[in-house]
Structure 1
Amino acid sequence: MKSTTKLVNLALLIAVMLVLNFTNLGLITIPFSPLKVTTLHIPVIIGACLLGPRYGGILGFFFGLLSFITHSFVAPVVTSFVFTPLYSLGDYHGNFWSLVICFVPRILIGVFAGLLFQALTKRDKNTALSAGAAGVVGSLTNTVLVLGGIALFFGQQYATVKSGALLAIIMSTVVVNGIPEAIFAGLLTAVIVRPLLKLYARR
């Protein structure tokens, strides 16, 4: 794929992320269940599969930037201090590590998903399976690194704000959000990436 085409697709995926971030499509609630599935990481993973890990990392950076803007200015919540140093809640303040949590896991979504997709497609031409695996790994990268960063740098404060034991909060987040998000990302990425690759091949 030519560099110009990659840049055009990068811009389109960023536009999709903007729409998802500033509409209800960014967080899908599953009817009759406590499940809430984040979709913002899916364009990052799709872009990583189509354009490679470098562009995936760029898309991940924009994911982190949108998260930073949302938690700092648009729609801060009680736990926003773990994502931005510009927000505080009582005695709890964001700091440098807030930026690490906000950006690093999101950048690595695209890097890891892109590298895995490239490695799998070299060994097996089943692009749908490779894309699905990249979707699962990319989503879990976000979940594990964000929750790990919160536990490492803001564990006590986060548990106090959430009114519970830190381990119980993390495990419930993994079950209620992390696993469904990984499954959803894997399925959606597998469905979308394969026909797009065929389309680009025809061009």
Structure 2
Amino acid sequence: MKNQTNKKLVQISFFGMIIVVMSLTPLGFIQVGPIKATLVHIPVIFASLLLGSKFGGMMGFIFGFMSLIQNTMAPGLLSFAFSPMIPVIGTSSGSWLALIIVFIPRIIVGLIPGYLYHKTKSLSVSVLSGSLLNTILVLSLIGILFTNAYASAMNVNASSLIKIIVGIVFTNGMIEALIALMIIPPLYKRLVKLGQ
């Protein structure tokens, strides 16, 4: 029992460190035009599959926290949506609503893949769902909570935001999901085989 607990602590620490390192280097957040594409969701999804939803949710929280730090320390055009310390476009102050965007989708990304895999036994469905959920939830929440500022940042009318969001989901979101799909299932299968 003690060995299992120690093994789990080592695994949690390992995934947490990968998330921190990726978040603090160009590996984790890649600036693509006005948005930052992310690969940090990969260790979060992997942890959810390997350790279960609860621990995946913890890794999602770390992902959110590192996103908050990264957007505060190295702000980009949309950082107001990820850090309450960055002024919202058109105002002189930040908004606490950024905390919803930075944490809720990332925690959900940690919860869902492990749950889905437990129910469906499909790695592909679990990985794709986790990755796409991150993109869809983040962009949708920005569109809902920061409609005017988001439209201003993207240089479009607020009524055009849905097209922008759908376009990003089908470009960046699909690329992020495909990268996750290429990395996670083979690595997961290998680790499970080694652990038997």
The TM-score range, normalised by the shorter chain, is 0.7 to 0.9
Match of 2:140 among 142, 145, 148: 148
Distance 1:77 1:103, change over 3 A: same
| Greater RCO, 1 or 2 (C-alpha within 8 Å, sep 6+) | 1
Number of aligned residue pairs: give it. Answer: 187
Take 1:76 and 1:37, find their aligned partners in 2: how far apart are those partners?
14
2:89–2:149: 8 Å Cα contact kept in structure 1?
Answer: no
Q: CA RMSD in A?
A: 1.9
Q: 2:179 aligns with which of 178, 184, 187?
A: 184
Instruction: Give the distance between the partners of 2:31 and 2:183, measured in 1 at CA.
Output: 16
Distance 1:132 1:90 in 2: 38
Indicate which of 19, 22, 28 corresponds to 1:20: 22
Q: Distance in 2 between matches of 1:11 and 1:19?
A: 12
Q: Tell me if the contact between 2:114 and 2:126 (Cα under 8 Å) persists in the aligned partners.
A: yes
User: Would you say 1:162 and 2:145 are equivalent positions?
Assistant: no
Describe the superposition over 1:147-203 as per-residue Cα deviations: whole angstroms up to 9, x where unpaired.
1111111112101121023123212211221111112212211111111111222xx
CA distance in 2, matches of 1:182, 1:90: 30
What are the ranges of 5 or more consecutive residues in structure 1 without an aligned counterpart? 31-35, 122-129
The one-letter code matched in structure 2 to 1:152 is: I
What is the letter of the counterpart of residue 166 of structure 1? L
Inter-CA distance 94–131: structure 2 relative to 1 (3 Å threshold): farther
Change (3 A) 1:8 1:118: same
Amino acid at match of 1:11: S
TM-score calculated relative to the size of structure 2: 0.88
Q: 1:19, CA displacement in angstroms?
A: 1.8
| CA shift digits 1:67-108 (9 cap, x unpaired) | 000111x21112111111111155344322210110000000
Aligned position for 2:8 = 6
Inter-CA distance 27–99: structure 2 relative to 1 (3 Å threshold): closer
Question: Is contact 1:67–1:102 with CA below 8 Å preserved after alignment?
Answer: yes
Other structure's SS at 1:88 match = coil
CA contact (8 A) 1:68 1:102 kept: yes
* SS of corresponding position for 1:24: coil
Equivalent residue for 1:127?
Answer: none
- Percent of pairs with identical residues: 36
The one-letter code sitting in structure 2 at the alignment partner of 1:104 is: I
1:46 maps to which residue?
46
Contact conserved, 1:139 with 1:182, CA < 8 A, in 2?
yes
